[in-house]
Amino acid sequence: MTRLLEPLHFRNGLLSRNRIALAAMTNSQSHADGVLSDEELHWLALRSEGGFGIVATCAAHVSKNGQGWPGELGIFDDCHLPGLKRVAEDTRERGALPMVQIFHGGLRADRSVSGERPWSASEGAPNQDGSEGARAATAADIHGVICDFADAAARAHAAGMAGVEIHGAHGYLLTQFLSRVENRRNDGWGGSLENRARLMREVTRAIRCRVPASFLVGVRISPEDAGNARGLDLDENLQLARWLCEDGIDFLHLSLWDAFRNTLKRPAEHALTIFREVVPKDIPLFTAGKIWTREDAERVLDLGADVIALGRAAIINPEWPLGIADPGWQPQRPPVSATQLREWGLQPVFIDRMRLRENFVLEGS
């Protein structure tokens, strides 16, 4: 049997039936007020049914003004609790651990949906259409968002979720504070690494204080620059990882985009090897990025991951974990038709998002 299907014991006693997670994926299928829709539940349920050990929701905004896209799941208000409860119950019934990814878009929050001017570590450049960019955070914004993250985690716990993944990757608020480029503050929240990492750490600690040890708290980070994640440094992130472990995280998720490439800063070394050296053995490392086949996933475990997270492969192979139990099984690959995507739980709004990705949806379908 493949190691991928071996159970994973978290140090708090929780058990995942295997080492395969559904990566958080924004899918725009929630209602305009952030309340879960039946369609979003169905999208997740198909993956729980398909054997994933851990099923993460899309990034869910912890503050109303942190929303990144229309149709995004919200977790900033008690009105979201019933929907979150439905996900938690349904996912558990199908044998997977339900997890919510919690986030704030910062300067990438969408003013047209939140109705507010976005804010970030520092003031942003004007937008292309000439409108004002993000404003610099006040002390009240910073303390408020720490409370919002903690409240969101408490809501996830009350809903029956197994844990939260704090979204500290991909250039959203927490990464913007960490960034050497986007954070130009000269107070206690900017300047030194200690100051730039403070928001991510304070959020982690505030959450840890609000939820019991039986509730998983993990962080997803971008180890180096990639896409919108700018101004990051591998060695700084290694120190961040050490600190987050001290702060009580239960897992660390390295978002790599390509799990088979070595790091930019140390081209002979892989991020998993480097992070494994600083992250204690009882804190699992998750990773994602271009993992498509069982062989790919096994290679990533060999590189040092404890859990592999699937994004695009899970969109078109909702039963990937059940499939790989048969060594002869081969996952489908893109492009796929819109009709097939509908069968796999994607509504037109999500399919349209996927059309923006080259060669994913069959043209004309």
Ligand X SMILES: Cc1cc2nc3c(=O)[nH]c(=O)nc-3n(C[C@H](O)[C@H](O)[C@H](O)COP(=O)(O)O)c2cc1C
What are the residues binding ligand X (CB under 6 A)?
A: 23-26, 58-59, 101, 167, 169-170, 220, 255, 257, 288-291, 310-313, 353
Q: Provide, rounded to whole angstroms, the least separation between the CB of residue 331 and ligand X.
A: 11
Of 183 and 222, the one with the shorter C-beta distance to ligand X is 222
Of 24 and 190, the one with the shorter C-beta distance to ligand X is 24
- Closest residue to ligand X, Cβ-based? 311
Query: Are residues 188 and 197 in contact, defined by beta-carbon separation less than 8 angstroms?
Result: no
**HSE-up (13 A, CA, CB side) for residue 161:** 29
Q: Provide, rounded to whole angstroms, the least separation between the CB of residue 66 and ligand X.
A: 13
Identify the DSSP state of 286.
Answer: E
Q: Which residue type is seen at 328? A: G
Of 236 and 296, the one with the shorter C-beta distance to ligand X is 296
Q: Provide, rounded to whole angstroms, the least separation between the CB of residue 359 and ligand X.
A: 13
Find tokens 């019933």 and name the residue.
82
Q: Provide, rounded to whole angstroms, the least separation between the CB of residue 256 and ligand X.
A: 8
Q: Provide, rounded to whole angstroms, the least separation between the CB of residue 165 and ligand X.
A: 8
Query: Are residues 68 and 108 in contact, defined by beta-carbon separation less than 8 angstroms?
Result: yes
Of 25 and 87, the one with the shorter C-beta distance to ligand X is 25
Of 243 and 257, the one with the shorter C-beta distance to ligand X is 257
Q: Provide, rounded to whole angstroms, the least separation between the CB of residue 138 and ligand X.
A: 27
Query: Are residues 155 and 80 in contact, defined by beta-carbon separation less than 8 angstroms?
Result: yes
Nearest to 101 by CA among 253, 275, 239: 253
Of 16 and 190, the one with the shorter C-beta distance to ligand X is 16
Find tokens 């099984």 and name the residue.
329
Q: What is the crossing angle of helices 139-159 and 81-93, to 10°?
A: 40
Q: 274: Cβ–Cβ under 8 A, 6 or more apart, which residues?
A: 234, 238, 263, 266
